[in-house]
Each structure stands twice: as structure tokens, then as C-alpha cells.
Structure 1
Amino acid sequence: MKKIIFASIAAFAVIVSGCATKNTSVSSSSSVDGSKGSGSSDQFENVSSLNSIQNVYFDFDKFNIRKDMQGVIADNAAIFNKEAANAAIVVEGNCDEWGTDEYNQALGLKRAKAVKESLVAQGVSADRISVKSYGETNPVCTERTKSCDAQNRRAEFKITK
């Protein structure tokens, strides 16, 4: 009986010690808040330009770049080609909550890839851009409204030196 209790306690200790708390803090040099990306002043010369990087928004169940987002792509590409010319860029695709987890993960990746292709067409080196999908797991709005869903259908940018 003592061996069973000791084995149970030992197993519990191993399980508990393996479950570390996940660090969810994000440094200011790589965070994206609301609708704009950001950089830190110690990494880039013109931080105000980096703060003007805008998200790209998508229609429901779509991954093509909307006509009203073409200017956003062009503006972001200009910043990536000038003020952040040596930076690595991560394009993060996001979705609203509609659809399965697997479907939204794939849709988020398609959105990120579409943005990458558009940036490359604007002269940003493809080697500097990586893509990532958060699917529906990274909402900026959690209300159950159409306008909230529209905010979650986006691509965000993180830049690092």
C-alpha cells in the first residue's frame, strides 16, 4: 500500500513540475495592438512610421485582398522597404469564430500568404517575410456581432530587426 501511495505522489509531482505556466506577455518590440503593428525605438530609427503599419482586413470566408485594402498593402510595403528595410516581417492570419478550428487555421494561413504575395508584388523581399496562422484563437473582439467578427478577420504584422 505504501508503494502505491508513494508512486502516486511521485507521479503527481512529475506531472505538476512538467506543467509550467505559459508566459503570455509580449514585448513592446514585437506586439501588435488593435489595428497597428509596433516596433521599439532602440531597433528602428523612425518608430512613428512603424506605428503606422496597419492591419489588412478580409471579407467573410475570403482570403483575397479587398480593393479597399490595396492602399494599406502599398503603405505597409513602403514602410517595410524604407524604415524597416532590414527587418524580418511575420504576417499573422486571423479569422472570426465561424467554421471549424481546422478550417479557420487553413483560412488564416491563406490570408497571411495572400498578404505576403501582395507585399512581394510591392517590392518587399519574400525572404524577409514569414507567415503564420492563428485561426480563430487570437480575437481582438469577442462580442457576437457582425462588426466584431469583421475586426477578427485580419492579417497583422510583427517586425523584428
Structure 2
Amino acid sequence: MKKSFILAAVAAALLMSGCSQKKPEVDMTKQETTEKPAPAVTEADTGVSGVVGTEEVGELTTLPEDARLAKIKELEASTKKIYFDFDKYNIRPDQEANVDEDAQIFTSDAAKDLTIKIEGNCDEWGTDEYNYALGLKRAKTVRDALALKGVDENRMVMVSYGESNPVCTEHTKECWAKNRRVEFELLP
């Protein structure tokens, strides 16, 4: 009897401690987006040009799909990453200028109709669960800061990649500092 009880307890422990899949933790509370159909594009519309950033780019909806996606990627590349201290989710004073620049980009005419995906990332220290939660806290802090600077909260969605999306894989302090960040993806 004791033998079968111990065997059952070991089997239950093995089942409960199985490997888990790493999946990003996503905040679905602000994912209300409305898709607007793009107007018909004529040959005259394909000549729309402009400079990316806070300057006027022209209506993205009037561009052909390939040009529109290229302009969105150009805007996205001009955004600044926000870096954090170890085990922290408050915006450092030296990163406030980056938040200001990002807010200017996101409130510009070029980006006014785009959804902003705020991606929270962590270094490899801590458990997976802790890092997913910390990444989400970092994304929320940046979302709140952008909202204070005039970016519509309904345009922003957050995702935490925890430690699963490193930009540097060396085991050094400099590398870990690069991974403690929030970055952005612009979605049509």
C-alpha cells in the first residue's frame, strides 16, 4: 500500500513539474483597434513623398501597400529604445528624452492612424514568470508616460517578452543592460 502511494505521489509530481512553453504575456485590455479600409489608389497618388519622423510624411493611407509598409518601418526605425536599470521598471532620467522623442513621433500626422505595440524585455536574471511580469510593468510605465505626453491610450497595446527576446547573448553587464529595454513596433 505504501509503495503504491509513493509511486502515485511521484507520478503526480512528475506530471505537475512538466516543461512549460515560453509564451509572451500580453495585456489584452487596450487592444481595441478599428481597421479603416484604405481608399483606392490612383497613379497620381503614388508620387506622395516626405521625410520620416516628426515632419510631415503625407497620408500613409494614400500610399500603395508596399510603400505604406516601408514608411511604417521607417517610422518604427526612428523610434528610440527605453532602457531600464536592473530589476526596475521606472523610467530613468537619462531616458526621458527618448520618451519625449517617441511621443513626438507617435503624435505626428505620419503615425496618427497606427497602432503602437510596446514590447517589454528583460535580461536573463530571474525566473521566466518574474521576467514576464517585469517586462509588462516596463511596457505599462512607458505606455503611461506616452499617454501623459498626448499619445492616445487606445492606440497602444503592450506585450512582455520577458527574457525570451534578447538583443545580446553574452554574459556581461553591458550585454544585460542592452536587454533591459522597451521597444516599439508600429502596426497598420
Instruction: Tell me if both proteins adopt one fold, taking TM over 0.5 as the criterion.
Output: yes
1:147 maps to amino acid: E
Q: Which has the larger radius of gyration?
A: 2
Q: Which moved more, 1:41-50 or 1:59-68?
A: 41-50
- What RMSD, in angstroms, separates the aligned Cα atoms of the two structures? 1.6
Q: Residue deviations 1:122-149, cap 9 Å, x none? A: 1000000010000000101000000000
Structure 1 runs of 4+ aligned residues shifted over 2 Å read 43-51
Aligned to 1:90: 117
Task: Confirm or deny: 8 A CA contact 1:44 1:84 kept in the other structure.
Answer: no
* Uncovered stretches (5+) of structure 2, i.e. residues with no partner: 1-65
Query: Could you tell me the TM-score, scaled by structure 1's length?
Result: 0.71
SS at match of 1:42: helix
Q: Distance in 2 between matches of 1:150 and 1:72?
A: 16
Fraction of identical pairs, as percent: 50
Task: Confirm or deny: 8 A CA contact 1:50 1:79 kept in the other structure.
Answer: no
Task: Confirm or deny: 8 A CA contact 2:121 2:165 kept in the other structure.
Answer: yes
* Distance apart, 1:42 and its partner CA: 1.7
Query: Could you tell me the TM-score, scaled by structure 2's length?
Result: 0.61
Task: Confirm or deny: 8 A CA contact 1:41 1:47 kept in the other structure.
Answer: no
SS at match of 1:150: helix
* Uncovered stretches (5+) of structure 1, i.e. residues with no partner: 1-39
Q: How does 1:1-161 map to 2 (within 5 A)?
A: 41-43=67-69, 48-82=74-108, 83-161=110-188
- Structure 1 residues 110 and 47, CA, compared in 2 at 3 Å: closer, same or farther? closer
* Distance apart, 1:46 and its partner CA: 7.7
